[in-house]
């Protein structure tokens, strides 16, 4: 009997380990990439980019889309002849690591990439995860471009961390400006005090409200980004008379918890979020009262509807051809990150971290991206604009639809 | 005033779910003195079972909430299997400590096993929400889910109390919890009684899962972990081993959480839950309704 118990315990352990091991899957580099033959002879060398993102877990939408964006860009670049370095053209490949949306896993993923000799990394998706690996990138001298890590503190002058998205202080200000333009005077905030992203946005929004003369009538916080109950917080928003509430959370709590609960205690005003709210449509439960998702808006990086430049329309066309769906902003920002690497590598003619870092740190260089042309500021954050998007539902429709309201820029 | 009533309603709603789960903890503890850490994961099993069966039920034209019946069956089976395959063999050879470690191990095994099933996987799923409508009474908004949760919990708790007091198997449970050897001498099949207890406890977790996902429509493999801890605290607070104690503890924790959220600080609501636990345990070490039985030497 004892032996049997030992055996079952051993099997249980094996199972547990296999499962954790499943987390970090590695993609073998795709030779050739795409059907089109390379336009010019590649020098035979392949540059492998690293990619870190939550491919599984509650924020899996982010990681899977970043991966799709990165792969599309790499396939395009390889099909067009690769990256032209000073000693000939190189093909690109990617090594993907899953951080499960967890900062600890993210550090493990980063260390694994570094030990594989990777010098250029795209990742990670969230500010919380990205902030866990910026110091590793800087101390090891590995270049990192985060497609969607918006926290202000991620990029500083003279370091190895860059991004293709705007920063939180900027999007918080955009949010406050939109609220003012819409004529709101009494606003509320519900945020998570323990999260880099949520607390950073709250600070930016609060500061901007002060400048623009918006009165913050109530402010409530929750302890974690995975909190399930927001009814008491919105209860207070209602009693404080907030016309609009700023909610810097991710989509995984917006759809199932926050929005329906806010409405259930009688909050009928506007819910304004930031880029984390995008993809909420994937977490709306069947059978829910869809009219509650009206008047939910969010500041975002990119909208296919406002795609104006050649790069952008080309991206949308190729993405739809490759994956059969419309891209979202994570696809676009990750796609941009790869092209930013390409431009920088071609500018310096090398693919080692130090040269690429120097090329990226040149604030006069311009990058043509899906969100228009931009340059980095001295910290490595692009100077660009945002868009306001939202959700709408009319009785009789099958689903909530995502709408693009307008382009946003600071006046 | 509206704020006050709303806080009370939220507290009752949270508390009812905690109470249902705490009943499972307390029943198992009462009978074999084992803190079944895998109990929280029975809720996850119930949640996934509901996630898959509700759409099937609706397609066939049966009301979605009846999916709770297969969920109860699935949970009860899992509960009994856990007892049969893990706890019973360990109990025969080991001591209380080995049982406790087995319970923790079972919790991880269940979570990881669920994740290994391709249809479940590591990503959270959003189930169909039942009872999504809201009614407004004098300015206070109450969701159908809240009313149903409180009512169903009350009925189940009352039924469970009468079951343990009046029915034959209920009496057997109380006998086994008081003295296993004496119960055996009286002709009670102890193993049979224990397995029934596990079945009922896990079945209650399925009902709690229905109530929980009606309010918080998301299922994931670790969803039982935090819920299980609150329910465990509720059971200890009320006096572990006592059924009315579990109910009282559950409701108290729900109301304290909601109150701390509303009136003090929402980031500190958990602090108050544990603070109350510590204070109560200092004054009454066996919990509010727990019997203080001296160690048998």
B92 contacts on A by Cβ (under 8 Å): 1
Nearest CA in chain A to B217: A256
pLDDT of residue A24: 40
What mean pLDDT is predicted for residues A32-48? 55
pLDDT in tens, A169-224: 899 999 999 999 999 999 999 999 888 899 999 999 999 999 888 999 999 988 88
Cβ atoms of A202 and A248 closer than 8 Å: yes
Confidence band (pLDDT; 50, 70, 90) for B293? Answer: low
Nearest to A285 among B2, B141, B217 (CB): B217
Q: A232, B112: Cβ pair inside 8 Å? A: no
Confidence band (pLDDT; 50, 70, 90) for B31? Answer: confident
Nearest to B90 among A5, A223, A264 (CB): A5
Confidence band (pLDDT; 50, 70, 90) for B292? Answer: low
pLDDT at B47 over 90: yes
**Residue ranges of chain A assigned to CATH 3.40.50.2300:** 40-166+307-380, 169-300+387-408
pLDDT in tens, B195-219: 999 999 999 999 999 999 988 999 9
**Calpha distance A167→A146 (Å, rounded):** 11
- The residues, ordered by sequence, that sit 6+ positions from B290 with a Cβ below 8 Å of its Cβ are B238, B239, B240, B241, B242, B245, B284
Candidates B218, B225, B254, B256: best to mutate against A (most CBs of A within 10 A) is B218
**Best CA proximity match to A384, nearest among A400, A371, A401, A366:** A371
Radius of gyration of chain A (CA): 22
**Best CA proximity match to B156, nearest among B212, B219, B201:** B201
Candidates A13, A62, A265, A291: best to mutate against B (most CBs of B within 10 A) is A265
Q: B89, A19: Cβ pair inside 8 Å? A: no
Q: A221, B258: Cβ pair inside 8 Å? A: no
CB neighbour burial string for A51-86, b if at least 16 within 10 angstroms, e if fewer: bbbbbbbbbbbbbbbbbbbbbbbbbbbbbebbbebe
Region A40-166+307-380: CATH code: 3.40.50.2300
Confidence band (pLDDT; 50, 70, 90) for A112? Answer: very high
pLDDT in tens, A9-33: 555 554 555 444 444 444 444 444 4
Residue pairs spanning A and B at CB distance below 8 A? 120
Task: Give the distance from residue B223's alpha carbon to the nearest chain A alpha carbon, in angstroms.
Answer: 11
pLDDT of residue A22: 46
CB neighbour burial string for A386-404, b if at least 16 within 10 angstroms, e if fewer: bbbbbbbbeeeeeebebee
pLDDT of residue B142: 84
pLDDT of residue A6: 54
Cβ atoms of A88 and A42 closer than 8 Å: yes
For the beta carbon of residue B184, count every other beta carbon within 10 angstroms: 14
User: Sign (positive/negative) of CA torsion A67, A72, A75, A78?
Assistant: negative
pLDDT in tens, A55-80: 988 888 899 999 999 999 999 999 99
Nearest to A16 among B108, B217, B266 (CB): B108
Cβ atoms of A143 and A151 closer than 8 Å: no
- The residues, ordered by sequence, that sit 6+ positions from A332 with a Cβ below 8 Å of its Cβ are A69, A301, A302, A312, A315, A369, A370, A371
Nearest CA in chain B to A7: B86
For residue A335, give both structure tokens: 């796609």
**Calpha distance A404→B252 (Å, rounded):** 46
Domain coordinates in residue numbering, chain B: 23-223
pLDDT in tens, B257-289: 988 888 887 777 888 889 988 998 899 888 888
What mean pLDDT is predicted for residues B180-192? 89
DSSP single-letter state for residue A182: T
Cβ atoms of B149 and B211 closer than 8 Å: yes
More confident residue, A216 or B142: A216
* Average pLDDT, rounded, for chain A: 85
DSSP single-letter state for residue A242: -
pLDDT at A37 over 80: no
- The residues, ordered by sequence, that sit 6+ positions from B194 with a Cβ below 8 Å of its Cβ are B31, B32, B83, B88, B176
Candidates B209, B215, B255, B264: best to mutate against A (most CBs of A within 10 A) is B215
**Calpha distance B199→B196 (Å, rounded):** 5
Q: B113, A15: Cβ pair inside 8 Å? A: yes
pLDDT in tens, B58-79: 889 888 889 999 999 999 999 9
Confidence band (pLDDT; 50, 70, 90) for B130? Answer: confident
More confident residue, A390 or A44: A390
Cα-based angle A382, A383, A389 (whole degrees, multiple of 5) = 95
pLDDT in tens, B213-245: 988 999 999 898 888 889 999 999 998 888 899
Q: Tell me if the pTM is above 0.90.
A: no
Write down the CATH superfamily of domain A169-300+387-408. Response regulator (3.40.50.2300)
Confidence band (pLDDT; 50, 70, 90) for A35? Answer: very low
Q: B116, A264: Cβ pair inside 8 Å? A: no
Q: Is the ipTM here above 0.85?
A: no
What mean pLDDT is predicted for residues B131-148? 82
A268 touches B at CB < 8 Å: no
**Calpha distance B79→B95 (Å, rounded):** 21
């Amino acid at each position: 009997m004892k032996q049997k118990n030992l055996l079952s315990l051993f099997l249980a352990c094996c199972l547990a380990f296999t499962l954790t091991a499943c987390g970090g899957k590695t993609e073998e580099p795709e030779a050739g990439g795409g059907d089109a033959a390379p336009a010019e002879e590649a020098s035979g060398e392949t540059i492998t980019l690293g990619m870190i993102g939550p491919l599984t877990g509650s924020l899996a939408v982010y990681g899977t889309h970043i991966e799709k964006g990165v792969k599309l860009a790499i396939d395009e670049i390889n099909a067009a002849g690769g990256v032209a370095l000073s000693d000939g053209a190189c093909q690109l490949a990617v090594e993907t690591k899953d951080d499960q949306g967890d900062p600890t896993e993210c550090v493990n993923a980063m260390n694994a990439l570094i030990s594989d000799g990777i010098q250029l990394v795209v990742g990670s998706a969230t500010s919380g995860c990205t902030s866990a690996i910026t110091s590793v990138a800087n101390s090891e001298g590995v270049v990192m471009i985060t497609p969607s890590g918006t926290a202000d503190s991620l990029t500083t002058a003279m370091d190895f961390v860059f991004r293709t998205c705007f920063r939180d202080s900027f999007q918080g200000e955009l949010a406050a400006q939109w609220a003012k333009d819409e004529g709101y005077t009494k606003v509320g905030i519900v945020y998570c005090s323990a999260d880099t992203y949520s607390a950073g946005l709250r600070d930016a929004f609060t500061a901007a409200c002060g400048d623009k003369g918006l009165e913050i009538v109530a402010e409530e916080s929750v302890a974690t980004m995975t909190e399930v109950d927001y009814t008491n917080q919105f209860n207070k928003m209602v009693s404080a008379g907030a016309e609009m509430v700023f909610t810097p959370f991710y989509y995984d709590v917006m759809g199932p918890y926050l929005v329906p609960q806010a409405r259930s205690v009688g909050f009928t005003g506007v819910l304004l979020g930031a880029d984390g709210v995008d993809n909420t449509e994937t977490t709306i439960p069947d059978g829910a009262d869809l009219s509650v998702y009206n008047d939910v808006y969010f500041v975002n990086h990119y909208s296919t509807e406002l795609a104006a430049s050649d790069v952008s329309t080309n991206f949308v066309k190729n993405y739809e051809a490759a994956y059969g769906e419309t891209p979202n902003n994570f696809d676009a920002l990750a796609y941009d990150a790869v092209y930013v690497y390409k431009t920088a590598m071609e500018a310096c003619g090398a693919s080692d971290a130090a040269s690429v870092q120097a090329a990226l740190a040149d604030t006069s260089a311009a990058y043509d991206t899906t969100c228009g042309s931009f340059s980095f500021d001295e910290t490595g954050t692009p100077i660009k604009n945002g868009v306001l998007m939202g959700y709408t539902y009319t009785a009789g429709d099958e689903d909530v639809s995502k709408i693009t309201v307008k382009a946003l820029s600071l006046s | 005033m509206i704020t006050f009533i709303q806080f009370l309603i939220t507290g009752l709603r949270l508390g009812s779910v905690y109470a249902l789960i705490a009943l499972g903890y307390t029943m198992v503890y009462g009978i074999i003195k084992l803190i079944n850490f895998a109990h929280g994961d029975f809720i996850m099993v119930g949640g996934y079972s509901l996630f898959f069966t509700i759409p099937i039920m609706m397609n066939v034209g049966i009301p979605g909430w009846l999916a709770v019946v297969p969920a109860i069956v699935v949970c009860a089976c899992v509960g009994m299997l856990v007892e049969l395959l893990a706890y019973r063999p360990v109990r025969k050879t080991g001591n209380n400590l080995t049982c406790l470690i087995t319970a923790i191990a079972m919790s991880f095994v269940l979570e990881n096993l669920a994740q290994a099933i391709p249809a479940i996987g590591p990503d959270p799923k959003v189930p169909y929400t039942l009872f999504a409508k809201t009614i407004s009474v004098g300015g206070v908004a109450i969701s159908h889910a809240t009313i149903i949760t409180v009512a169903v919990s009350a009925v189940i708790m009352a039924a469970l109390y009468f079951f343990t007091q009046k029915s034959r198997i209920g009496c057997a449970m109380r006998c086994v919890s008081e003295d296993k050897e004496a119960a055996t001498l009286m002709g009670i099949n102890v193993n049979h009684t224990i397995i029934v207890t596990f079945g009922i406890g896990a079945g209650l977790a399925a009902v709690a899962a229905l109530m929980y996902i009606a309010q918080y429509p998301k299922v994931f493999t670790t969803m039982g972990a935090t819920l299980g801890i609150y329910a465990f605290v509720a059971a200890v607070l009320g006096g572990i081993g006592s059924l009315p104690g579990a109910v009282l503890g559950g409701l108290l924790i729900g109301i304290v959480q909601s109150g701390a959220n509303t009136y003090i600080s929402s980031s500190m609501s958990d602090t108050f839950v544990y603070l109350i636990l510590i204070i109560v345990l200092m004054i009454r070490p066996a919990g509010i309704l727990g019997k203080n039985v001296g160690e048998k030497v």
